[in-house]
Amino acid sequence: MSALAVETGSINLGQGFPDTDGPAEIAQAAADAVLAGRGNQYPPGPGIPELRQAISAHQKRFYDLDTDPETEVLVTAGATEAIAAAMLALLEPGDEVIALEPYYDSYAACIAMAGAARVPVTLRPPEFRPDLDALRDAVSSRTRLILLNSPHNPTGMVLTADELRAIANLAIERDLLVVTDEVYEHIVFDGEHIPIATLPGMRGRTVTIGSAGKTFSFTGWKVGWVTGSPELVAAVRTAKQFLTYVSSGPFQYAIAVGLALPDSFYASLADGLRRRRDLLAAGLREAGLDVFSPQGTYFITTDIAPLGESEGLTFCRTLPLRCGIVAVPNVVFYDNRQAGQSQVRFAFCKRDDVLAEAAARLRGLRSATR
């Protein structure tokens, strides 16, 4: 879709990357690290101590979670590697993984690479709340872990305290691990982000995944992390060792600086994105789409049915030509394709002027020929 955006000169609201870089002091810290020769050679396997300490301090500051930087923190090549390493480390062939669909596309690939099977529990519009009975019914004797993502891409759903408690109780009762992808932890507009690891009985069975890409708007740096018990982190580190071994040396120093930014930075990230969410949502509504306003993340899921269309895939293939916008069909995030057929995702981590122009282009959609 990004290639199609370049080819057609369209506004790319497909891929989730910000069109403005993150804070200058973080970029400066990366440049300083390169020039001072910090991190230019292989950094330590688990990540540089400064970043591991900063991640630990972040977990304490925002969630009151105590995490030993020596044994309970692992730096990875983005959340993508963390997901892959966690799946390869924790799954055996034949195991089952329960995940809330639609799901981020790497989940399916990583579960498959581990020889395991995915068992989807479908989130349905308009609220995309998890069906907790369906989740319970999905557990079998082969279930090894529940793979969560909150705030959730692509729906923007944020799991509530009650939902997390129910999932935690299920995990404890059935002795399951939980891998939780929390890369959008600081992009929440309604409700609050609660790491499932903070719930009673969950610390020892949860692998929590974070990413600097989303929080600091440096998606190209690929700095992510895993936190969890020493046993779980050691398992993930063992798999990670033979994926990348290490990565992003100088950027690790810079992200340590970023994680220490004051609370005002984190608040302004969410405030700015809330404003842009509302800007794009208004444009999408005006264009005639059904808009499911997200509680978190920088994506809006819509339904194209009110336009008299039912195939998101076809809609997204023709949208660049019809009005110069690129979006992503949610159907690619579903096993149960019927459930997501008419949904389309738009990213709003873009400048105000870009979103305003996108809204103007979308307005012409109803009249444009197909």
Ligand X SMILES: Cc1ncc(COP(=O)(O)O)c(C=O)c1O
Helix (H) or strand (E) holding 242: none
The HSE-up count of residue 230 (CA atoms within 13 Å, CB side) is 4
Given candidates 10, 59, 219, 227, which one binds ligand X under the rule CB under 6 A? 219
Q: How far is the CB of 17 from ligand X (least distance, A)?
A: 8
Given candidates 5, 12, 16, 30, which one binds ligand X under the rule CB under 6 A? 16
Binding mask 134-173 for ligand X (x = CB under 6 A): ---------------x---x--------------------
CA dist., res. 331 & res. 126, Å (int): 16
Q: Which is nearer to ligand X, 56 or 80 (CB)?
A: 80
Stretch touching ligand X by CB under 6 A, among 78-86, 131-139, 190-198, 358-366: 78-86
Q: Which is nearer to ligand X, 48 or 365 (CB)?
A: 48
Given candidates 224, 249, 312, 324, which one binds ligand X under the rule CB under 6 A? 224
The CA-based angle 217-221-224, given to 5 degrees, is 85
Provide the 3-class DSSP secondary structure of residue 311: coil
Task: Give all strands of the β-sheet with 290-292 in edge-to-edge order.
Answer: 290-292, 299-303, 343-347, 328-329
Q: How far is the CB of 36 from ligand X (least distance, A)?
A: 25
Q: Which residue matches tokens 């992003």?
A: 248
Q: Which is nearer to ligand X, 16 or 258 (CB)?
A: 16
How many chain residues touch ligand X (CB under 6 A)? 14
Given candidates 104, 218, 298, 346, which one binds ligand X under the rule CB under 6 A? 104
Whether 68 contacts 273, CB under 8 Å: no
Q: Which of residues 79-98 bind ligand X (CB under 6 A)?
A: 79-80
Q: How far is the CB of 331 from ligand X (least distance, A)?
A: 17
Q: Which is nearer to ligand X, 235 or 328 (CB)?
A: 328
The CA-based angle 98-103-108, given to 5 degrees, is 70
Q: Which is nearer to ligand X, 116 or 226 (CB)?
A: 226
Output the CA–CA distances (angstroms, integers) from residue 142 to 137, 147, 179, 206, in the order listed.
13, 14, 16, 18
Whether 258 contacts 178, CB under 8 Å: no
Given candidates 78, 156, 249, 312, which one binds ligand X under the rule CB under 6 A? 78
DSSP one-letter string for 169-211: HHHHHTT-EEEEE-TTTT-BSSS----GGGSTT-GGGEEEEEE
Tell me: does residue 119 bind ligand X (CB under 6 A). Answer: no
Tell me: does residue 183 bind ligand X (CB under 6 A). Answer: yes
Whether 107 contacts 113, CB under 8 Å: no
Q: How far is the CB of 79 from ligand X (least distance, A)?
A: 4
- In this chain, which residue has its C-beta nearest to ligand X? 78
Q: Which residue matches tokens 């071994």?
A: 245
Q: How far is the CB of 30 from ligand X (least distance, A)?
A: 16
Q: How far is the CB of 77 from ligand X (least distance, A)?
A: 7
Which residues of the chain form contacts with ligand X (CB under 6 A)? 16, 78-80, 104, 149, 153, 181, 183, 211, 213, 219, 222, 224
